[in-house]
Chain A
Amino acid sequence: MGNNGKPTVGIFGFTGCAGCQLNILNLEDHLLDIISLVDITSWVMAKAENDDGPWDVAFVEGSIAKSTDIERLKKIREKSGVLVAIGACATHGGLPALRNLADTDEWKKEVYGDDYERIDAIDIKPVSHYVKVDYSLPGCPMDKAEFVEAVKALLIGKTPYIPQYSVCGECKAKENVCLLKEGKFCMGPVVQAGCDALCPTYGAACEGCRGPAPEANWAAEVEILKKIGATSEDVKRKFLKYCPSVADMEEFKELEF
């Protein structure tokens, strides 16, 4: 608790696009309410005066992309009661973790030229690989509504809820025309719901930014996608796009494409 009796909150960004933090600022209708309920004592993106904890709740955004990040993350964990990983980078590595699957040196060279060795770029693991994560809000970016739900749940003392099924369930409840049936590469059948099927609702196929749904039946999805003409390469590439840490999952390793 802060000195005004409100729970203290720290919001931290690691390597990423700052979109999850921005999405907190984008809560125009709720921001003043949230500020009245909690004491945000650390948030470099929005405040000039930031203290050193401890925090009742820490929200952590971004990929752990360089070696110094690990220490910083551990310090935050030590000083936080509850740690919430927000966004695909923190929950599943995010786009930057694509380098785990490639020759990082070659990539560094492509972007930074011959002096690339000075770039500190470690393989990217989810935040939960390094420290205990109490809750995860997936997505690229994290869903604003889910963030508000999590804040409320933590304040009143219940478990922040994320639906334990795939996007198709939500997509159908919204009565969208199925894009898979139109022959588009939709990952909805195996991707974690909770976004209210945002992309299909806007006519765009699910890109899988929220990571796999629990018990995702990948083998069936591979079959489905092949039926609409996708190659094994397409499937593999897309499965790993926003959530490259999936490559480390046993189920994924066993999958035949």
Chain B
Amino acid sequence: MTESIDIKHIARVEGHGSLYVTTKDKELVDVKMAVDEGARLFEAFLRGREYTEVPEMACRICAICSASHRVASTKAVEKAMGIKVDQQVVDLRRLLVWGEYIESHILHALYLALPDYVGHESVISAAADFPEVVKIALKLKKLGNDMQILTGGREVHQVSTAVGGFTSYPTHQTLDEIKERINEARADLQKCLDVWATLEEPDFERKTTYVSIKRDDEYALVDGDLITSEGHRVPVEKYKEIIGEDQPAYSFAKSGVHDGHGFFVGALPRLNNNTDQLSPFAKKALSQLGIKLPSYNTFHNNAAQLIETAQVFDMAIDTIDALLKSDLEWHEFETVPKAGFGTHITEAPRGSLVHSYEFGDDGLLKKADIIAPTTMNYLNMEEDVRALYPSIADLPRPELELMLNRLIRAYDPCISCSCHVAEVK
């Protein structure tokens, strides 16, 4: 008997996506990840825009990782034009991204994923049973947002980060305050880890290629080379060597392909690829949650986000200390447009993010290629569904659907963000 399992509008993810699974006599016949987003045509309308405007508009691709888009886009522009920035600017951008990590990871792990583990339909209903965790989650999320506000002026679509620098700086006092809050929040994050340690992770394993950026001197999130779990490492300009895009006939979701199969970007791939660079807090979290690296269980991506949050706590303190040592005197900066190519890859919370541009000598954008993490993950999601299905085929329908939902959600997909996707007619 042919059956179709249609999960329309996967809930608790950003953006609109659906999963269509066709089975025959409990054997999986077909899997399709479909996108229900309208087309926005970012790469088209960015053309002809001034180089200063490009990052400001490009960050609107996605609100949840707007800071990553902003930073990746800005750095791509600066690379194209040979614009140099000083260490304060580098550190402020890092701090901005650390804030985004805290906010985004907490949002996903505790608001969007956690309800599944504790049998709730949403964090709103979970708030009744787990008021303390929900309150802590709010507090941590606010901390991440406040870090973004401190550096970028706003938590969504920052305003003060520009090509060449920042239009305003935080003060020593505000940095001191946020540092103190981060240190205080360690205990809160620890409580979340304690709760997570009691949860049961679904049993699932499938080895795939894990892609992320990589540095030798630190856990790479903002800068680095592109690397695969098989050890293939290239400078980011050569991203196409690793990240291929394939456009399946049924959807305009271009999917990431690598060597003819899907690959996975996100928190778990980063943990797998950068295990030796974890900070003390992250290491402790890792061992507390009992995850052995490398892990091939996609569901571990949720826990990996919490571990990374711990990682970012440590990194943020270092960054703030560095900033506190500088004068933090804001100064005017000027940038001069120039023709050229520039590519940057940042790790957004949900995976590697490519911004690649070509500019004319008038400083107007000629061509853009933007590949968002969720785009890269589509094919891998489908492959995961195929691998998971046999073990859940006998479950009653609602539970089966829930597991499929949870599998997709574990990717922390951001469908609105995948700017190469659109619903087909």
Which residues of A pack against B, CB within 8 Å?
13-23, 25-26, 28-29, 31-32, 35, 40, 43-50, 63, 65-66, 68-69, 95-96, 98-99, 102, 104, 106-108, 110-113, 115, 118-121, 140-141, 198-199, 201-204, 207, 237, 241
Contact (A66, B41) CB under 8 Å given A45-B14, A47-B124, A119-B422: no
Interface membership of B302, Cβ < 8 A: no
Report whether A49 and B122 are in contact in the complex, using a CB–CB cutoff of 8 Å.
Answer: yes
Report whether A15 and B157 are in contact in the complex, using a CB–CB cutoff of 8 Å.
Answer: no
In the A-B complex, the 4 residue pairs with the closest CB atoms = A19-B63, A65-B38, A203-B167, A107-B44
CA distance A56 to B122 in the complex (A): 21
Report whether A96 and B423 are in contact in the complex, using a CB–CB cutoff of 8 Å.
Answer: no
CA distance A102 to B40 in the complex (A): 13
Give 15 new A-B contacts, CB below 8 A, not counting A45-B13, A45-B14, A202-B159: A17-B61, A23-B63, A26-B141, A28-B141, A31-B138, A63-B38, A66-B38, A66-B422, A96-B39, A96-B40, A99-B45, A107-B45, A203-B166, A203-B168, A204-B159
Report whether A19 and B145 are in contact in the complex, using a CB–CB cutoff of 8 Å.
Answer: no
Supply 24 A–B pairs (Cβ within 8 Å), ascending by A: A13-B416, A15-B40, A19-B156, A20-B63, A26-B156, A32-B134, A32-B135, A43-B122, A44-B9, A46-B12, A47-B124, A66-B39, A66-B422, A66-B423, A99-B41, A99-B45, A104-B41, A110-B41, A111-B41, A111-B42, A115-B247, A118-B425, A203-B160, A241-B53
Contact with B44, one of A49, A110, A140, A198 (Cβ below 8 angstroms): A110
Report whether B157 and A140 are in contact in the complex, using a CB–CB cutoff of 8 Å.
Answer: yes
Report whether A119 and B39 are in contact in the complex, using a CB–CB cutoff of 8 Å.
Answer: yes
Which residues of B pack against A, CB within 8 Å?
9, 11-16, 37-45, 47, 49, 53, 56-57, 60-64, 66, 107, 111-112, 115, 121-124, 127, 134-135, 138-139, 141-142, 145, 153-157, 159-160, 162, 166-168, 247, 252, 330, 405, 414, 416-417, 419-420, 422-425
Contacts of B61 in A (CB 8 A): 17
CA distance A35 to B126 in the complex (A): 12
Contact (A47, B121) CB under 8 Å given A140-B60, A141-B63, A207-B56: yes
Q: How far is the CB of A221 from chain B (nearest CB, A)?
A: 18
Contacts of B416 in A (CB 8 A): 13, 15-18
Contacts of B16 in A (CB 8 A): 13, 44
Contact with A111, one of B43, B121, B141, B168 (Cβ below 8 angstroms): B43
Contacts of B157 in A (CB 8 A): 19, 140-141
CA distance A65 to B41 in the complex (A): 11
Contacts of A113 in B (CB 8 A): 247
CA distance A162 to B89 in the complex (A): 35
Contact (A202, B160) CB under 8 Å given A96-B41, A111-B39: yes
Report whether B38 and A15 are in contact in the complex, using a CB–CB cutoff of 8 Å.
Answer: yes
Q: How far is the CB of B163 from chain A (nearest CB, A)?
A: 12
Most-contacted residue by chain A among B11, B41, B141 (CB, 10 A):
B41
Contact with A118, one of B49, B167, B252 (Cβ below 8 angstroms): B252
Q: Which residue of A lies closest to B104 (CB)?
A: A22
Report whether A17 and B111 are in contact in the complex, using a CB–CB cutoff of 8 Å.
Answer: no
Q: How far is the CB of A94 from chain B (nearest CB, A)?
A: 8
Most-contacted residue by chain A among B12, B115, B124, B153 (CB, 10 A):
B124
Q: Which residue of A lies closest to B49 (CB)?
A: A237
Contacts of A28 in B (CB 8 A): 138-139, 141-142, 145
Q: How far is the CB of B197 from chain A (nearest CB, A)?
A: 24
Report whether A47 and B122 are in contact in the complex, using a CB–CB cutoff of 8 Å.
Answer: yes
Report whether A198 and B154 are in contact in the complex, using a CB–CB cutoff of 8 Å.
Answer: yes
Contacts of B64 in A (CB 8 A): 18, 22
Contact (A241, B160) CB under 8 Å given A18-B14, A65-B39, A120-B425: no
CA distance A182 to B160 in the complex (A): 16
Q: How far is the CB of A52 from chain B (nearest CB, A)?
A: 13
Q: Which residue of A lies closest to B10 (CB)?
A: A44
CA distance A141 to B64 in the complex (A): 12
Report whether A19 and B60 are in contact in the complex, using a CB–CB cutoff of 8 Å.
Answer: yes
CA distance A48 to B414 in the complex (A): 16
Contacts of A17 in B (CB 8 A): 60-63, 66, 416-417
Contact (A203, B123) CB under 8 Å given A18-B14, A99-B45: no
Q: Which residue of B lies closest to A34 (CB)?
A: B124
Report whether A63 and B40 are in contact in the complex, using a CB–CB cutoff of 8 Å.
Answer: yes
Contacts of B111 in A (CB 8 A): 25, 46
Q: How far is the CB of A179 from chain B (nearest CB, A)?
A: 9
Q: How far is the CB of B239 from chain A (nearest CB, A)?
A: 18
Contacts of B160 in A (CB 8 A): 202-204
CA distance A45 to B415 in the complex (A): 11
Report whether B43 and A110 are in contact in the complex, using a CB–CB cutoff of 8 Å.
Answer: yes
Contacts of B112 in A (CB 8 A): 46
CA distance A95 to B60 in the complex (A): 8
Report whether A108 and B39 are in contact in the complex, using a CB–CB cutoff of 8 Å.
Answer: yes
CA distance A98 to B43 in the complex (A): 12
Contacts of A201 in B (CB 8 A): 153
CA distance A15 to B123 in the complex (A): 24
Report whether A48 and B122 are in contact in the complex, using a CB–CB cutoff of 8 Å.
Answer: yes
CA distance A35 to B422 in the complex (A): 33
Q: How far is the CB of B69 from chain A (nearest CB, A)?
A: 9
Report whether B153 and A204 are in contact in the complex, using a CB–CB cutoff of 8 Å.
Answer: yes
CA distance A199 to B63 in the complex (A): 17
Report whether A110 and B63 are in contact in the complex, using a CB–CB cutoff of 8 Å.
Answer: no
Q: Which residue of A lies closest to B53 (CB)?
A: A241
Q: How far is the CB of A151 from chain B (nearest CB, A)?
A: 15
Q: Which residue of A lies closest to B166 (CB)?
A: A203
Report whether B122 and A99 are in contact in the complex, using a CB–CB cutoff of 8 Å.
Answer: no
Report whether A18 and B159 are in contact in the complex, using a CB–CB cutoff of 8 Å.
Answer: no
